Amino acid sequence: MRENCLNGGLCRGPLFTTVASNSRITAMAKGEVMTKPTFLNRSPSPLARRLARAGLAGLMGLALLSATACSSSSDSKPDDKPPAAKIDPEKVACPHVSVLADAARLTRFRPGPGRDITDVALHAELVHYNGSCLYDPDSKSMSINLQVGINAERGPAAPANRTAALSYFVAIPAFFPSPAAKRIFPVHLTFPDNADTVGFTDDEVDITIPVDQIKNMEKYEVFLGLQLDHDELDYNRSHRSLR
């Protein structure tokens, strides 16, 4: 299954396959009920995830011991219902992740009416993402980790300071119209003196979402894209046939 994590894949399991420097599970307070997603950025080290998983395993172990003690008591009956099957967190499917076609690219022109190739200041594209997920049966929540990669190129009308600013978004329509359903992440790029292109991979974004039924994970689809203004979005839509 590891190959499914590459080049835009979201895989099951606790860690990234190609980028494993930052991972964590966002812990929920015991008894807290989630009604909207929680976004975090710049996660700590993988140790936090391992500690969180160890704590979860310990709690599940205690629950199992308690259930065993109850079932062996003298007043148990043969027709008692068996305990509910335990859920293996790593066997719960991840939500589907998609890049919106109309928001995968950004073409930014210099101020003014010109829309020729000589008027292009910046071209950027969301080229890949990597990630992982893990379900927490105690809080009934899913922790999703995503890392987005963007390529950018200076155009003929780019400013002389060799910097550029843009943003990308992560959205989960299942939680609209809540503002928590979408988060925008700014990106600041600096082009080297000897190159007009640059590749950028952002820090890991951590998302924790409430999950009412693990059999309906498809409704929690996650969408990625570059944050565009109306003119930039219209430009993408009018140039679909040229891609």
Rounded Cα gap, residues 90 and 121, in angstroms: 45
H or E element, residue 143: strand 141-154
Backbone dihedral region of 242: left (phi > 0), alpha (psi from -120 to 50 degrees) or beta?
A: alpha
Phi, psi for 174 (deg, rounded to 5)? -60, -20
Residue 85 main-chain phi, psi, to 5 deg: -65, 140
| Rounded CA separation 36/211 (Å) | 10
- Are 105 and 227 within 8 A, CB to CB? no
Spatial CA neighbour of 149 closest among 131, 171, 132, 173: 131
Of the candidates 17, 21, 24, the one whose C-alpha atom is nearest the C-alpha of residue 1 is 17
Q: How many CB atoms lie within 10 A of CB 3?
A: 9
One digit per residue, the tens of pLDDT, for the chain of length 243 reads 333 333 344 443 332 222 222 222 222 222 233 456 776 654 443 433 433 333 333 323 323 323 333 333 344 455 566 665 677 777 788 999 999 999 999 999 999 999 999 999 999 999 999 999 999 999 999 999 999 999 999 999 999 999 999 999 999 999 999 999 999 999 999 999 999 999 999 999 999 999 887 877 888 999 999 999 999 999 999 988 655
Give the H/E segment covering residue 52. Answer: helix 46-71
Q: Report the phi/psi class of residue 140: left, alpha or beta, with left for phi > 0 and alpha for psi in -120 to 50.
A: left
| Interatomic CA distance for residues 9 and 181, integer angstroms | 21
Taking only the tens place, the pLDDT of each residue in 11-60 is 433 322 222 222 222 222 222 334 567 766 544 434 334 333 333 333 23
CB < 8 Å & 24+ apart, contacts of 193-199: 193/162, 196/153, 196/154, 196/158, 197/151, 197/152, 197/153, 197/154, 198/151, 198/152, 199/127, 199/149, 199/150, 199/151, 199/152
Please give the Cα distance from 12 to 183 (Å, whole number): 23
User: Residue with structure tokens 């951590």?
Assistant: 206
pLDDT at 40: 63
Alpha-carbon Rg for the chain in angstroms: 23
Predicted local distance difference test score (pLDDT) of residue 112 = 94
